[in-house]
Amino acid sequence: MHPNPVSISLSSYGADLVRQRGQASFIPLLVAAGVRRIELREELFDAPVDAAALRQAVVRSGLEALYSSPLELWTRDGQPDPQLPTKLAQAKALGAVALKVSLGHYHERCQLPALQAMLGEGDPLLLVENDQTVQGGRIEPMLRFFQHAEGWGLPLGMTFDIGNWQWQGESALQAARQLGRWVRYVHCKAVQRGADGRLHAVVPKADDLQAWQGLFEEFTPGLVRAVEYPLVSDDLLAVTRAQVQTLGSLGLTLGAGEEVSHA
C-alpha cells in the first residue's frame, strides 16, 4: 500500500518561529520529511512577499503549494468579499494549486453570479473551509452553500477541518457524511479544552486517529490531508516525519493494490 499525500500547514510550527525564519526556510525540512504539499499562510507573511522567488523555491523542491487566507468568502450584505480576486491572483503568483478561505456569512440571498464572475479560468481552485465561527463553522450553512454552488456549476471544493467542528458543537462524522462529496482537502487536528477553558488544537492520540478513519471513508480516496496541530520538538524533522507517516496511513484499506490519487 502506498501512503496518502500529506500537507503541512506552516502555522503548525508556531507563528513566532515561522515569522522569524520565513516560510520558504521550511521547504527543505518538508521535503526531507516526505511531505507532498506546503500550505503557505497569508497571516504569517510580515513583509511583502517576493512571490516569484517563493514560487521558484517551491517548484525546485517538487512540492505543491496551497495558499491559505483568513478571508471570509461572503460578507454580511450577501456579496462575495471584493478582495477575493486579489487573493486568487496572489495564490496564482505563488504557483498555488488552491486558495483556501472560510465561508463567512452565507445565506440564501447571497449572489452566486457575483462569485461566478470572480472565478476565472486558470485560477487556483477555490477551497472553502469550515472555521470556528457561528457563521462558518456549522454544517447547515456549509451544506446549503455547496448545494447552491453545485447548481451553478461553480469550480470550487471544500476544505474539511476535522477539529473546527467542535467550536460550534457539531459532529465531524455527520459533517463528513453530509459534505464529503465536496471535500478536496482535509485539515487534521485533535482538540481539547485547556486549563483556561478554551479549546486548543493538539496532537492526535490513538482514539482520535481511529475516529478519523471513519471520516475518511466518507471522502474520495487519496485526498491530501494536512497537519494543523502543533509540531514542537528539538528535532523538527523527526516529529514532522512521524506525523507525515501517521496521517499518510489514514484511509488506507487492506488489499488496496493501486496507488492512491494525489488529486
Question: Does residue 262 belong to any structural domain of this protein?
Answer: no
- Here the cell at position 188 is 487534521
Question: Does residue 1 belong to any structural domain of this protein?
Answer: no
- The confidence score (pLDDT) of residue 216 equals 97
Question: Does residue 258 belong to any structural domain of this protein?
Answer: no
Question: Does residue 209 belong to any structural domain of this protein?
Answer: yes
Q: Is the predicted pLDDT of residue 103 greater than 70, yes or no?
A: yes
Question: Does residue 261 belong to any structural domain of this protein?
Answer: no
Segment 190-215 mean pLDDT: 96
Model pLDDT for residues 22-37, shown as the tens digit of each residue = 999 999 999 999 999 9
Strand-pairing partners, residue 215, are none
Which value, to the nearest 10 degrees, does the dihedral of the CA atoms of residues 26, 228, 240, 219 take? -120
Question: Does residue 253 belong to any structural domain of this protein?
Answer: no
Q: Give the predicted TM-score (pTM) of the model.
A: 0.94
Strands (E) in 106-233, as ranges, are 125-129, 156-161, 183-188, 190-193, 199-202, 224-227
DSSP 91-153: HHHTT-SEEEEEEES--TTS-HHHHHHH--TTSPEEEEE--SSTTTSSHHHHHHHHHHHHHHT
* CATH code, domain with 234: 3.20.20.150
- The confidence score (pLDDT) of residue 2 equals 77
Q: How far apart are CA 19 and CA 235, in angstroms?
A: 19
Q: How far apart are CA 69 and CA 77, in angstroms?
A: 20
- pLDDT tier for residue 1 given thresholds of 50, 70 and 90: low
Which domain does 27 fall in, by range?
A: 6-248
Q: Is the predicted pLDDT of residue 259 greater than 90, yes or no?
A: no
Model pLDDT for residues 107-162, shown as the tens digit of each residue = 989 999 999 999 999 999 999 999 999 999 999 999 999 999 999 999 999 999 99
Give the rounded percent of residues in the chain with a pLDDT score beyond 70: 95
- The confidence score (pLDDT) of residue 252 equals 82
Specify burial of residue 135 (Cβ count, 10 A radius: 0-12, 13-18, 19+): middle
Phi then psi dihedrals of residue 69, to 5 deg: -125, 145
Number of folded domains that form the chain: 1
Question: Does residue 263 belong to any structural domain of this protein?
Answer: no
Question: Does residue 260 belong to any structural domain of this protein?
Answer: no
